[in-house]
Amino acid sequence: MNTVPGGCPKLFVLQSPVEPAILRLISDRGISGVAQFDYIIIGAGSAGCVLAEGLSRNGRYSVLVLEAGSRDRSPWIALPIGYGKTFFHPTLNWRYSTESEEALGGRSAYWPRGKVLGGSSAINALVYVRGLPGDFDDWVDAGAHGWDWNTVAPVFETLETRVGCDGTRDGSGPMHVQDVCDQIHPATRHFFAAADEMGLPRVETVEHEGATSYRITTKGGRRCSAARAFLRPAMRRANVTVMTRAAAERLIFEGRYVTGVEVTSSSGKTRVSAGREVIVAAGAVASPLILQRSGIGPAATLRDHGIDVLGDSEAVGGHLQDHLGVNYFFRATEPTLNQALRPLHRRAACAIRYALTRRGPLALSVNQCGGFFRSRAGLSRPDQQLYFNPVSYMTTPEGRRNVVMPDPFPGFIIGFQPARPSSRGRIDISGPRVGDPPRIRPNSLSTDKDRREVVDGARFCQRLASTGAMRRLIDSPIAPDLLAMEDDEAILTDFRARCGSVFHPVGTCRMGADPSSSVVDPRCRVHGVGGLRVVDASVFPSITSGNTNAPTMMVARRAADMILEDA
């Protein structure tokens, strides 16, 4: 076996059945019965993969990545349209549920999260959105000094290779961001014509206000997850170790300093120690749970579960934010993706085309175009993100979205989400063990602002659907009829009954200067604790306007540089 700095043997990807034997080998090499690494990263999701690549690049430090999920070998991950299959896949998806919410008619929402190398970047709908520039200036206003747009924009540049429709490339980053405007369905032309009719601008990238085709994270027609872009190259280095199906039970402390992690797998428990730091990168759901199980969190909650309180902080698990959205479904007057994907012979033709060219419907996201818009006059910046999807499908009560088997008739979707909701919820442990499910309480639609923006967003969609261009595509609405909703209360009632998460949870270990209202400082160090950082979407001081995968990777890239600077 190869060795890493400090004498630790190189472990490529270890599945839990072989972990005890490998760890005994480490012990035999003289590390006091405990595997030791310079840095331990908890979570191989969007942030963890970027951290692993960044911290291992100079070859000076040994890096262990712990992933509670499995390897990313499923063909549904590589296939872009496979999003419809991974959406409820039991071995690739944690399939969380929120507690029931009175504001949503007593419904419990389904929250998919990646349970695999690459995390949610391995199962998401592939849309790459940095966010609007003002989002990051909001972070500075919240106390995250040094995270303004002018500072973070160059960090995004280092992540990306931007590939045009003609194959031209801009940038040299590991994450391929593909412009597929030449492949999106012809029905999308009606969306752009409707935007023109409304006097809305057209833009090339979604970081600006206006109608656009969404860029997606694919390379050669296959999903470019964070694992493919960042972790795979890092794993070729002798100083990187990845353990799958290895869940972080709790952090190990010496006084107020974190020295390691207690790990649980199917083979039992073991300990790994960190010579420099432990970085929690388990995501907005799991990261606060790890801190709470380790004794950092709301004192009353911890005591209720028999956990000794090392740090009393209501902010751990608090400030939960997420995007809520709703779709309006329509029958179309012309073929849409439904006709390309529904009949068996046409699906077979798409499969053959994809196998030969890595192009066509199977190589794309269902979210093909949309953008950021101001729903009414007088707003200083866009308040809504829109989606136009040239496909329609049923959503079952369990939350399954059968994108691979759409409706048998031509159909399409207009959907929206308010960009910056002000409601704040919580995520907390329900018990002291790693297998205890999280208590997710989003507290949705709890502010007048959020309810007002729901109405504004729906009114904007009504105006879009009422244009002559869109009327030419609409055969008939599929109930409930957006165009028939005349009063605000009807719009809000429908939204409460049908809305769902857009799967962008953030903020549960928020970044800020004040330890009383935040969990980490602007260098992602946990307040009052040595040797410990949190680096993932949970540190967002406020939610970005759109999809959160890109800013999560940006945070990890910048945090990796900070960690090496501090070393």
Which of these is catalytic: 176, 185, 323, 504?
A: 504
Q: Tokens representing 275?
A: 């010579």
Nearest Cα neighbor of 137 from 564, 550, 541, 556 is 541
Contact 66, 243 (CB under 8 A): yes
CB 420 within 8 A of CB 410: no
Helix (H) or strand (E) holding 471: helix 468-471
CA 363 to chain centre: 20
As a whole number of angstroms, the distance between CA 131 and CA 149 comes to 10
Does 504 participate in catalysis according to the annotation?
A: yes
C-beta of residue 547 within 8 angstroms of C-beta of residue 540: no
* Contact predicate 416/460, CB 8 Å: yes
Quick check: helix, strand or coil at residue 516? coil
Helices (H), 45-148: 46-56, 75-78, 83-86, 133-141
Distance CA 450, CA 119 (A): 29
Measured between alpha carbons, how far is 301 from 307 in angstroms, rounded to an integer?
Answer: 9
Nearest CA-CA partner of 200 in 191, 213, 470, 186: 191
Question: Pairing mode, if any, of strands 63-67 and 240-244?
Answer: parallel
- Token pair 């009807």 is at which residue? 490
Percent of residues in the chain assigned helix, strand, coil, to nearest 5: 30, 25, 45
- Name every residue whose Cβ is closer than 8 Å to that of residue 165 and which is 6 or more positions away in sequence: 179, 180, 181, 182, 183
Planar angle of CA 204, 414, 490, nearest 5 degrees: 135
CA separation, residue 84 to residues 79, 403, 538 (Å): 10, 5, 26
**Residues with catalytic function:** 504
